[in-house]
Structure 1
Amino acid sequence: MTALTPAEAGFHMPAEGAPHARTWMAWPARIDLWNGRHVEAKAAYAAVARAVARFEPITMVAKPEDVAEAVAECGPSVEIVAMALDDSWMRDIGPTFLVDGKGNLAGADWRFNAWGDKWPDYANDAAIAAQVLERTGVRRFAAPFVLEGGSIHSDGEGTVLTSEQCLLNPNRNPHLSKSQIEVNLKAWLGAETVVWVGQGLENDGTDGHVDNLACFARPGVVLATSCRDPEDTNYAPMQDNLARLKAARDARGRAFEVLELPIPAKRVTAAGRLAMTYTNFYLANGAVIAPSFDDPMDKVAAEVLAKAFPERQIVQVPALAILEGGGGIHCITQQQPAV
């Protein structure tokens, strides 16, 4: 007998803005990832955790030998739990939580291969989702394909955003066609419509995760990364993504209202150009935990987010140190819906 997919069992991925029971994070573990800025990275993770903790419960997973450090950095408002880790991107290594509308919670445990085998050691990270689901005490659906949580975004009403650069990359699921991947997304996220953007930002080590490019403010309203400089290498792909979003229709047949979040000025470090984007924020209960980059565009981003989320508090947290490792605030958080 073939195992049921989440959709067959009545589950779907809710919108990130739906009420949460908890947020999950993972303490920085791969020290050589941070180009000598691991101390700053840990401080940035702790700042994000404390910001989230103002609005909902939060659990930080940490290597057993790092628990004391995480406790000291994060403070009493953040629960610290010991688990073996290789890296620290809970959006991608953690489960994608699912609901059935009847008070039941479940989780999709995606196959994880370190973003297309970019790191040789990821066995601990590949086991994290199952451990989180076991600790949470909810049903686990083990996916037969590679996916990262940062590569998908749901409006909770049947529409999922994703990107071609990531999901069609041969380093993930080379045996699957675009249509087969759509079938999987619908079966595992309870979706009816998949909306594809194209390419990601320059030097994005995730191969174009959609959480750097576009996300739902609410059904029918999308926030999208844009670039205002025609000379910037990000200009053409971001323009293409905007055009795709404006031409798309969601599962209810609606055209999207697209709100643009322009990228900040180009910044290059030892890691190369930082793939900075204000779209990589996190929706906590009653708040938007948003990145700031010590750039004049921070103020513009805060204004756009306030317009998109008038009922939420906008909390900007310095995120440059997180970007040194290749991701943003959304990448290091994972929501557990309230049921």
Structure 2
Amino acid sequence: MTLPRDDGYFMPAEWMPHSRCWMAWPCREALWGDRLEMAQDAYAEVANAIAQFEPVTMIANPQDVAEVSLRCGSGVGCLPIPHDDSWTRDTGPSFLANTQGELAGVAWRFNAWGQKYNEYEKDRQTATAILEHLGLPVFAADMVLEGGAIHVDGEGSLLTSEQCLLNPNRNPDLTRSKIEEKLRAYLGVETIIWLNEGLIDDETDGHVDNLACFAAPGIVLALSSDDPSDENYTALQENIDRLRGAVDAKGRSLEVIEVPQPDRMNDDHGRRLSRSYINFYIANGGIIMPSFEDAQDARAYEIIADAFPNRSVVTVAANDIAFGGGGIHCITQQQPLV
């Protein structure tokens, strides 16, 4: 089977131009419970914020299309595609491009974050359904992976975490070296920079899009804590130390910009919500950033605005999304413009 790297494909950085953003309408009542409508309102707000900068398509179960169109408004497109959940970063395709201006996508195997939910058969088909709708080549990967577990700089470097990709609930038969081999083959990267642990009580088992992301080649934003008594302090500090000791695919040492984490907020079961300012979306000319009604909101805004001086930073209240287990980056998937 031909692999993307063999055909010259690679995963572009998120700050490269997009033709569209893909999202999915919240629908899993077992997850959201009586917060479902609030989650839907939050998704609609995110979609309309992104639509200020680039086209947005919200996929919806066929029976929900009319409601989605009404609640999101005319600025957001809607496409009927059956799905089980609403985390397009993880269930949608990882889009690829090549130097000939061609687009394709990887459809990773999906197992509901290590089988944390029983019903995910529709989500397993989401990436392929989007790519087939677009008429793009589909590279079906033989590895379980969610898009929130990786972040690339478009120049050969990739961030991920050991807690997630080496977790036996994903690919128990794959060694670290075999996983690295597949990341290189499917995403066209060369250097994999491994962080260690993610946030406590993170249902995704340490997705990197809560921990760190490239802001530009050689520059990384990383979530941090200055409170040694905080339960995330040790893990976040180790991740920052690893980043400061890393070298990217171009031989550069990384400039690491720390972003403070918000204060603890619990879900209805007493578990800490995985809230992170790193979990933002880079749009054409804009940043769609989460806010949490938290004391750190203003400082985080300043840091992210300074890191992206040529983009307008728009904040969207994201606590209602966090109650579902993720953030703004988790519910979006960029389609590159080629």
Give the TM-score of the pair, scaled to structure 1. Answer: 0.98
Point out where structure 2 has 5 or more consecutive residues left out of the alignment: none
Residue among 63, 81, 86 paired with 2:61: 63
- Tell me the alpha carbon deviations over residues 75-103 of structure 1, each in whole angstroms, 9 at most, x when there is no partner: 00000111111100000000000001211
Residue matched to 1:311:
310
- Tell me the alpha carbon deviations over residues 198-227 of structure 1, each in whole angstroms, 9 at most, x when there is no partner: 000011000000001010001000000111
Contact 2:222 2:257 in 1 (8 A): yes
SS at match of 2:288: strand
Contact 2:274 2:325 in 1 (8 A): yes
The count of residues paired between Structure 1 and Structure 2 equals: 337
Matched ranges for 1:104-123 at <5 A? 104-123=102-121
Distance 1:281 1:209 in 2: 13
Give the Å deviation of 1:68.
Answer: 1.5
Residue matched to 2:164:
166
Residue matched to 1:218:
216
- Tell me the alpha carbon deviations over residues 152-196 of structure 1, each in whole angstroms, 9 at most, x when there is no partner: 100000000000000000000000011111111111110010000
Matched ranges for 1:270-289 at <5 A? 270-271=268-269, 272-289=271-288
Residue matched to 1:23:
21
- Tell me the alpha carbon deviations over residues 209-265 of structure 1, each in whole angstroms, 9 at most, x when there is no partner: 000101000100000011121101100000000000000000000001101111111
Residue among 134, 148, 151 paired with 1:150: 148
Give the Å deviation of 1:32.
Answer: 2.1
Opposite residue 308 of structure 1, the aligned amino acid is A
Contact 1:94 1:334 in 2 (8 A): yes
Distance 1:35 1:300 in 2: 33
Give the Å deviation of 1:269.
Answer: 2.1
Residue matched to 2:241:
243
Opposite residue 221 of structure 1, the aligned amino acid is I
Contact 1:62 1:81 in 2 (8 A): yes
- Tell me the alpha carbon deviations over residues 274-328 of structure 1, each in whole angstroms, 9 at most, x when there is no partner: 1111000000000000000001211011100111000000000000000000000
Residue matched to 2:295:
296
Opposite residue 288 of structure 1, the aligned amino acid is I
Distance 2:305 2:53 in 1: 17
Distance 1:249 1:36 in 2: 46
Distance 1:263 1:120 in 2: 32
Residue matched to 1:326:
325
Distance 2:65 2:165 in 1: 34
Contact 2:27 2:36 in 1 (8 A): no
Contact 1:288 1:313 in 2 (8 A): yes
Distance 1:53 1:101 in 2: 28
Distance 1:323 1:306 in 2: 22
Distance 1:72 1:266 in 2: 35
SS at match of 2:4: coil
Distance 2:89 2:226 in 1: 29
Distance 1:102 1:308 in 2: 31
Distance 1:312 1:31 in 2: 36
Do structure 1's residue 253 and structure 2's residue 248 form an aligned pair? no
Distance 2:241 2:82 in 1: 43
Contact 1:35 1:270 in 2 (8 A): no
Distance 2:202 2:63 in 1: 30
Contact 1:266 1:273 in 2 (8 A): yes
SS at match of 1:107: strand
Give the Å deviation of 1:31.
Answer: 1.6
Give the TM-score of the pair, scaled to structure 2. Answer: 0.99
SS at match of 1:290: strand
Give the Å deviation of 1:116.
Answer: 0.5
- Tell me the alpha carbon deviations over residues 90-124 of structure 1, each in whole angstroms, 9 at most, x when there is no partner: 00000000001211000000000000011111010
Point out where structure 1 has 5 or more consecutive residues left out of the alignment: none
Give the Å deviation of 1:335.
Answer: 0.3
Distance 1:195 1:225 in 2: 16
Opposite residue 246 of structure 1, the aligned amino acid is R
Give the Å deviation of 1:137.
Answer: 1.2
Give the Å deviation of 1:47.
Answer: 0.2
Distance 1:92 1:169 in 2: 16
